Structure 1
Amino acid sequence: MLNVVVLVSGGGTNLQAIIDAVDSGEITNTKIAGVISNNKNAYALERAEKHGIPNQCISPKDYKSREIFNQEFMKAVDVMQPDLIVLAGFLVVIPAEMIAKYRNRMINIHPSLIPAFCGTGFYGLKVHEKALERGVKVVGATVHFVDEGTDTGPIILQKAVEVEQGDTPEVLQRRVMEQAEWRILPRAIDLIANGKVKVEGHRVTIES
């Protein structure tokens, strides 16, 4: 059984997609061990509460230094004994020590086809604003392992979504969520839970 801890800063739509996929059996061999947010008002915490999932807020604002926050944050994660950590819209820099400890056991969902529209400053609506400004015809989402860079870890799954005439950043964001993010994130977790994902260097291979 894969113990999953989800880290989230906001509404938790990707968290909900994971919860629904576990409930429906789309994600197998998996238990959501806990949810941690840096935002006490995050609706994601309510989503977790409704499903009886242990949840808590740990915010950098509540600590005198980033070092103390990092220590307490890592302690809270470690207590949940995760086999896999899922960043589902988590807007806090992950401590390097934690990345090293959970190497190839921490994944992130990003709302673009990496390496396009990713890296520092590309998050949330900004990704879709830039894509529309550039006039691309295809966008999408990427699930990747987390390394020391920003959106630079080995890519697990990607799914493309077509840009439509008259799209606004908000409309495009919603379509990317529905058609890509909510599909490939649960799929990636299920593949990992069943031992089908292998990482060699910077490449990921998926066993059929």
Structure 2
Amino acid sequence: MQKRIAVLVSGGGTNLQALIDAQSRGELKNGLLAAVVSSREGAFALERAAAAGIPGYVVARRSFPDNRSMTAALVSQLRALDIDLVVLAGFMHILTEEMVAAYPNAILNVHPALIPSFCGAGYYGLHVHEAALAYGVKVTGATVHFVNEEPDGGPIVLQKAVDIREGDTPEALQRRVMEEAEWVILPKAVSLFCEGRLSVDGRTVKVKNKD
């Protein structure tokens, strides 16, 4: 039985496009992109979904008084769609514990750094790459992790390193991390989940070999 995947978005949907492209290449094994849910109307990610024939939905943050009530509405929408895996792809809102309770070890997020570096509250978008460059690290990258109640604190599924180059700007580094890491490991992690090859033991995620 194919796993039904919902991708939560807020903006342009570049990571969503990486998943769409992977599905078109047959790389989301045993998985189906069943829904794209945006936190705002008019997000370009919804156009990407429509172009790929994926149903799009809006659960707008501004329609709710707080993150908790928005999270409850999201959970209700995802359950109505019979979703097995939730993927956060540029979703710019903190979900409350109701989401984790509804989908334990079934929510994946991609973060544009090698966790535990440059992660947690305040580290999103260009801020992550600005911080990496300001610190002077030689290597950065991306991490796919399961989501728990702590921002960027869930068990790590996959990581991929990206070298920092002399003269890098935050924008140039952001683009390279997306191309060389995020767009590679996010589809791979999604496929591993849908194939039933991931198991969580405390903070450690184990990847089973193919039968």
TM-score normalised by structure 1 residue count: 0.97
Greater alpha carbon shift after TM alignment, 53-62 vs 16-25: 53-62
Distance 1:68 1:86 in 2: 20
Corresponding residue of 1:141: 142
Q: Which amino acid aligns with 2:208?
A: E
Q: How far has the Cα of 1:153 moved from its partner?
A: 0.2
Corresponding residue of 1:201: 202
Corresponding residue of 1:101: 102
Q: Which amino acid aligns with 2:138?
A: K
Distance 2:183 2:34 in 1: 20
Unaligned runs of 5+ in 1: none
Q: How far has the Cα of 1:67 moved from its partner?
A: 4.4
Q: Secondary structure at the match of 1:34?
A: strand
Q: Which runs of structure 2 are paired with 1:173-192 in the superposition (5 Å)?
A: 173-192=174-193
> Against the structure 1 CA distance between its residues 66 and 175, is the aligned structure 2 distance closer, same or farther, given a 3 Å change threshold?
closer
Corresponding residue of 1:115: 116
Corresponding residue of 2:49: 48
Greater alpha carbon shift after TM alignment, 178-187 vs 68-77: 68-77
Q: How far has the Cα of 1:138 moved from its partner?
A: 0.2
Distance 1:66 1:50 in 2: 30
Structure 1, residues 96-121: CA drift from partner, whole Å, max 9, x if none?
Answer: 11111201000100000000000000
Corresponding residue of 2:91: 90
Q: Secondary structure at the match of 2:181?
A: helix
Distance 2:168 2:76 in 1: 43
Aligned length: 208
Distance 1:112 1:125 in 2: 11
Corresponding residue of 1:27: 28
Q: How far has the Cα of 1:184 moved from its partner?
A: 0.1
Q: Which amino acid aligns with 1:27?
A: L
Q: How far has the Cα of 1:80 moved from its partner?
A: 1.4
Distance 2:46 2:186 in 1: 19
Q: Which amino acid aligns with 2:64?
A: Y
Q: Which runs of 4+ in 1 moved over 3 A?
A: 64-68
Q: How far has the Cα of 1:64 moved from its partner?
A: 4.2
> Against the structure 1 CA distance between its residues 133 and 200, is the aligned structure 2 distance closer, same or farther, given a 3 Å change threshold?
same
Structure 1, residues 63-92: CA drift from partner, whole Å, max 9, x if none?
Answer: 345444333222112111111100011111
Q: Secondary structure at the match of 2:114?
A: coil
Q: Secondary structure at the match of 2:79?
A: helix
> Against the structure 1 CA distance between its residues 195 and 66, is the aligned structure 2 distance closer, same or farther, given a 3 Å change threshold?
closer
Corresponding residue of 2:158: 157
Corresponding residue of 2:74: 73
Q: Which amino acid aligns with 2:157?
A: I
Corresponding residue of 2:9: 8
Alignment identity in percent? Answer: 50
Structure 1, residues 36-75: CA drift from partner, whole Å, max 9, x if none?
Answer: 1112121101000111111111112113454443332221
Distance 2:161 2:144 in 1: 12
Unaligned runs of 5+ in 2: none
Root-mean-square deviation (CA, aligned residues, Å) is 1.1
